[in-house]
Amino acid sequence: MSDATATIAPPRPAASDRLKFYGIWIATALVLLVLPKLFSSGGSLTTFSLIGISIIFSLSYNILLGQTGMLSFGHAVYYGLGGFLAIHAINIIAKNKFAIPLPLVPLVGGAAGLLFAMLLGWVSTRRSGTAFAMISLGVAELVASSALILRTFFGGEAGVSANRTKVLRLFDWSFGPQIQIYYLVAAWTLIAVIAMYALTRTPLGRMCNAVRDNPERVQFVGYDPHIIRYIAFCFSGLFAGIAGALAAINFEIANSAYLGAVQSGTVLFATYIGGVGFFIGPIVGAIFVTLLSLGLSDLTQVWQLYFGLIFIAVVMFAPGGITGLLMMHRPLLKGGTLSRVLPSYLLAFIPTLAMVTGLMLAIETIVHYTVNPNEDSHIKAFGVPFDAANPAIWAVAGVLLIGGFIIARKTWARVAASWDDALTAAREKGVAA
Amino acid sequence: MLELIVISTLNGILFGMLLFLMASGLTVIFSMLGVLNFAHASFYMLGAFFGFQISRWFGFWPALIIAPLLAGGLGALVERFGLRQVHKNGHVAELLFTFGLAFAIEEIVQIIWGKSPVDFRVPPLLDFPAFTIFSTNYPAFKMFMLLVSVIIFIGLLLVLKRTRIGLIVQAALTHPHMVGHLGHNVGRIFMLVFGVGTALAAVAGVIAGPALVTQSNMAGLLGPILFVVVVVGGLGSLPGAFIASLLIGLIQTFAVSMDGSLAGAFGPLSPDYAATWLSDIWNVTIAQIAPIMPYLLLVLILIFRPMGLLGTRDT
């Protein structure tokens, strides 16, 4: 037995690798610590807190989608229930003066998420794929509609609110100011990220990947895919509950929107746009989508449409997400042939940019005529003022959109060709793709 | 009581037939392409809004023809230039693509027609009470809706059972690869099926638009129920979808018209816990829980018969 493990197990990582590995985590912790010193305004602190919550939530979602291959349309259920339980916990703690400080409240949310995942997960994880997706949607609708019926617990349309400063104080931290909430969220984010990363390295994490790739084979090996999916589902619920509790603490309110389809959709968008194939993908996606939704809503009225279009574009052209796209370049970088594709990228960039600009111009012009036709036609989108009534603008939009598309298609073919060349060259140099 | 039963049965069958118009397309698309079209209800919504716009320009009757054709054409385009691109990335990517599409369509509809309901009226030709039972006027338009859905149902049945295309579609339901091996242009069949399926959903949209509310959230409201129908009936089973549609239509209509509650039934007992947070459950009426009935049914079916009522295969 020991012989077998000695030959099968990979060699222990070298000291430099381990240093690099732990160095990354320590560096992350330091960055989290220093970040509020660099951007100390209230707005940026709120943004950081939202990003942290979104990172935990997206990573918990990726335990399902990326690691176990289960597409859920109702992940917000566990996020929302975690949030509600956390709010009720804060109220109860404050009322009875229990000796529980606020930083422990996310544990309540996590327990709630875990409990409901255990309760609802058994039936839904019996099947994977499309059936699971539909069932998750049905369960989500069930919970979201029930939340409006059980008014005493969920507070109806208005939701339940709490005062986070009323619980036991440790070291004189009241958790009133946003900076303290930021540190609370940052600490929990770091803990959750480390825990979820560790989970991927356990035998369970490996079996999850096996269930995703080939459930039949897993059965032959002697595992029950249903049980593995169920355990993964429970872990995912746990971390979603923690994220929900942090969100509830951050806003001091929990309402039915936490449980709703929009929330489930947002986490799906964030995770997939970031990339489900790599652990870091959902982190990138959470940062990208949070910043995008905060930034775009200032720039244009119809930011959700752009959001949907970006998502469709990622699904169609970059199924690996942002990290998948970046990681594709690793073999080229190692083989030293990256310089071969860069010129064709540059070439493709210009007509693609023209096409996108044309599309945006067309959308904004149409939006002006359909949403607010009676207002002044001199509108401003993405900080650029233009006259929507001007036929020249229409012509420019059309030319950019159609001309850009025709030229861009040719350059995309060129990108693909030069990409193949570069990859072959890199392989010849002995770099595994 | 009798009045309630008759009216609710009529309305329930009507709602069930509307559901079936959509669910039939959804389940056939699912069986053939393996894609659960998340955007199916969006095509229903597009049908309603196209119908509204066209009936404003040319009247209701042209709209009844043109709007489904337009929506079906759009559906075919989506299959040809969207889904087929994504197909190589697997079913999850396809499902996500239709999810993104549903999101985008809702946004576009909101941009063009706004968030509030549009004034989609019943055509004057049908704006009269068809008959009166127990002092309730039953609108002729609802009878017309029922008629249209029954005609389409029979037409669909005939096409599937009696024509060559129907034969191929039926074969592709169970053995899609074999159909390809036999030399049929599977790509074109897929496009056709997707187009027809979305056009059927759009027909449902045009005839339901004036009777129900035509609003940009109608796809979001109906979409999940549609999935419940397909799962309850059994994935890929047309007869199952038919039974499930009627079942859910009847359950929901009857539930809405009943206002019984636990408190009403066992009121005199009035246990102590009825005053605590459980009072919500104690006092809730059946009419109030009508929206969650389909999902309760879904959970029950999943526990006791995971394949669905008439489903044969596990996905």
Q: Which two tokens stand for residue B171?
A: 């074969």
The H or E element containing residue A106 is: helix A105-124
Contacts of residue A319 in chain B, CB cutoff 8 Å?
86, 89, 93
With vertex at residue B310, the alpha carbon angle to CA B305 and CA B311, rounded to the nearest 5 degrees, is 75
Q: Under an 8 A CB cutoff, do A315 and B86 touch? A: yes
CA distance B114 to chain A (A): 7
Task: Tell me which residue of A271, A247, A243 sits closest to A78, measured CA to CA.
Answer: A243
Q: Encoding tokens for residue A432?
A: 């595994």
- pTM for the whole thing? 0.84
Residues of A in contact with B82 (CB under 8 A): 312, 316
Are A281 and A116 a contacting pair, CB within 8 Å? no
A369: contact with B, CB 8 A cutoff: no
- Residue among B179, B189, B234, B212 nearest B23 (CA): B234
Q: Give the integer Cα–Cα distance in Å for A356 and A173.
A: 48
Which one of B95, B99, B313 would you mutate to disrupt binding with A, by most A Cβ within 10 Å of its Cβ? Answer: B99
Q: Which of B30, B107, B296 sits opposite A304 (nearest CB)?
A: B107
A42 to chain B nearest CA, in Å? 31
DSSP state of B121: P
CB atoms inside a 10 Å sphere around CB A323:
22
Of B91, B220, B231, the CB nearest to A129: B91
pLDDT in tens, A293-344: 888 777 777 778 888 888 888 888 888 888 888 888 777 777 777 777 777 7
Residues linked to residue A380 through DSSP beta bridges, in sequence order: A385
Give the closest-approach CA distance of B81 to chain A in angstroms.
10
> CA A67 to CA A229: how far, in whole Å?
10
Give pLDDT tens digits along chain B (315 positions): 777 788 888 888 888 888 888 888 888 888 777 788 888 889 999 999 998 888 888 878 888 888 889 999 998 998 888 888 888 887 778 888 888 898 889 888 888 887 778 777 777 776 777 677 777 777 788 888 888 888 888 888 888 888 888 888 778 767 777 877 888 777 888 888 889 889 988 988 888 888 777 888 888 888 888 888 888 888 777 888 888 999 998 888 888 777 666 666 666 666 665 556 566 666 677 777 777 888 888 888 877 777 777 776 554
Residue recorded with tokens 């539909």 = A134
Asked if A13 and A21 touch (Cβ cutoff 8 Å), the reply is: yes
- Spatial distance between the Cα atoms of A322 and A94, rounded to a whole number of angstroms: 44
CATH topology of domain A16-319: ABC transporter involved in vitamin B12 uptake, BtuC (1.10.3470)
A309 in B contact zone (CB under 8 Å): yes
Buried b (16+ CB within 10 A) or exposed e, B268-284: eeeeeebeeebebbbeb
The pair of structure tokens assigned to A97 is 């003066």
Give the architecture-level CATH label for domain B2-304: Orthogonal Bundle (1.10)
| Nearest chain A Cα distance for residue B82, angstroms | 7
Cα of A102 vs its chain's centroid, Å? 25
* Token pair of A426 as six digits: 């890199």
What single string gives the DSSP state of each residue in B280-295? HHHH-BHHHHGGGHHH
Contact call for residues A304 and A314 (beta carbons, < 8 A):
no
Tell if the CB–CB gap between B91 and A131 is shorter than 8 Å: no
Per the CB < 8 Å rule, is A133 touching B95?
A: yes
Every domain of chain A and the residues it spans: 16-319, 330-428
- Closest-CA distance, A347 to chain B, in angstroms, reads 24
- Nearest alpha-carbon partner for A172 in A101, A104, A246, A108: A101
Q: Nearest-CA distance from A134 to chain B in Å?
A: 6
Give the integer Cα–Cα distance in Å for A137 and A123: 13
Contact A152 B114 (CB under 8 A): no
Q: Please compute Rg for chain B using Cα positions.
A: 21
Contact A134 B101 (CB under 8 A): no
What does R_g of chain A's alpha carbons equal in angstroms?
Answer: 24
What is the number of residues in chain B? 315
- Is the CB of residue B284 less than 8 Å away from at least one CB of chain A? yes
Helices (H), A318-371: 321-327, 330-335, 338-371
Contacts of A144 in chain B (CB under 8 A): none
User: What does the alpha-carbon distance between residue A136 and residue A132 come to, in Å, rounded to a whole number?
Assistant: 6
CA-to-CA distance for B7 and B4, rounded, in angstroms?
Answer: 5
Q: Is B298 on the interface with A (CB under 8 A)?
A: yes
